[in-house]
Amino acid sequence: QKEVEQDPGPLSVPEGAIVSLNCTYSNSAFQYFMWYRQYSRKGPELLMYTYSSGNKEDGRFTAQVDKSSKYISLFIRDSQPSDSATYLCAMETGGFKTIFGAGTRLFVKA
Amino acid sequence: DGGITQSPKYLFRKEGQNVTLSCEQNLNHDAMYWYRQDPGQGLRLIYYSQIVNDFQKGDIAEGYSVSREKKESFPLTVTSAQKNPTAFYLCASSTAGTGSNQPQHFGDGTRLSIL
């Protein structure tokens, strides 16, 4: 079993839809949770960074962490074609090793 | 602008050849990392370095080597011992602190292919 599981998609939604992206994990020691956005042929770009459980909002993006369920989510409101990318979840215990999900490909249709 | 620069963007390797991928950062970050990204898989850690002149193996270090002679630079050599080198290679950096964490920031990658 992988430490971090992420549905690869692809996920296709119409413009303006609310998008929900999710990851599950097995290591209860994870404390830091991140979401990265990766466009084709580019490096991942940090979108959200949260510590422990709870919600964090930044513009159209909301990150949720439920440590009791070992489940994290990224919500994108009013999705735009420019949001079409691969979204990677990532997490770590506080050391130097970050574990990444395989990524979910998102397509937002105009 | 501060950031991480990887070069070249595309690289081709012949059989039996070593190739070196460049990674330079001007973010004044102490820690630097190399990852390999294959389709359908998460990023896999090759090597990381927390300070100059020190580095540790990651999960898939076999067939790769690194050096960290300067804070700003962390080149990766893909040796002929790496039998399946075709992949997208990503360099990252972060600030380092005992007992604390800062997220990693990435360059735009080098795509390595076999001729």
* Token pair 């990887």 in the structure block, residue: B6
CA atoms of B43 and A94, how far apart (whole Å): 18
- Helix then strand then coil, in percent of chain B rounded to 5, is 0, 50, 50
Q: Strand pairing of B4-7 and B10-13?
A: unpaired
Is the pLDDT confidence value at A44 over 70? yes
Res B86: pLDDT: 94
Res B103: pLDDT: 87
CA atoms of A6 and B34, how far apart (whole Å): 22
Rg of chain A taking only CA atoms, in angstroms: 13
- Contact assignment for B108 to A42 by CB distance below 8 Å: yes
Is the pLDDT confidence value at A51 over 90? no
In chain B, positions 49-68, which contact chain A (CB-CB < 8 Å)? Answer: 50, 58
Task: Label residue A108 exposed, middle or buried (CB < 10 Å: 0-12, 13-18, 19+).
Answer: buried
Q: Is B108 on the interface with A (CB under 8 A)?
A: yes
Q: Is the N-terminal amide bond of A8 cis, ω within 30° of 0? A: no
- Contact assignment for B108 to A31 by CB distance below 8 Å: no
Is the pLDDT confidence value at B98 over 70? no
Is the pLDDT confidence value at A54 over 90? no
Q: How far is A79 from chain B (nearest CA, A)?
A: 24
What is the residue-averaged pLDDT of chain B? 91
Is the pLDDT confidence value at B31 over 70? yes
pLDDT digits (tens, 9 = 90+) for A2-27: 899 999 899 999 999 999 999 999 99
Whose CA is closest to A4, among A27, A20, A21?
Answer: A27
Res A95: pLDDT: 72
Contact A51/A92 with Cβ under 8 angstroms? no
- Contact assignment for A32 to B104 by CB distance below 8 Å: no
- Chain B residue numbers with beta carbons less than 8 Å from the beta carbon of A31 are 101
Q: Assign B100 a pLDDT band (cuts: 50, 70, 90).
A: low
What is the residue-averaged pLDDT of chain A? 94
Query: Backbone phi, then psi, for A83, in 5-degree steps?
Result: -80, -10
Is the pLDDT confidence value at A107 over 70? yes
Res B1: pLDDT: 64
Q: Is A102 on the interface with B (CB under 8 A)?
A: yes
Phi-psi region of B72 (alpha: psi -120 to 50; beta: other; left: phi over 0): alpha
Is the pLDDT confidence value at A78 over 90? yes
Q: How far is A96 from chain B (nearest CA, A)?
A: 8
In chain A, positions 41-80, which contact chain B (CB-CB < 8 Å)? Answer: 41-46, 49
Chain A interface, mutation test: which of B43, B45, B94, most A Cβ atoms within 10 Å? B43
Contact B109/B88 with Cβ under 8 angstroms? yes
- Contact assignment for A102 to B40 by CB distance below 8 Å: yes
Task: Label residue B34 exposed, middle or buried (CB < 10 Å: 0-12, 13-18, 19+).
Answer: buried
- Contact assignment for A41 to B50 by CB distance below 8 Å: no
* AA letter at B45: L
Angle at B40 between CA B39 and CA B44, to 5 degrees: 80
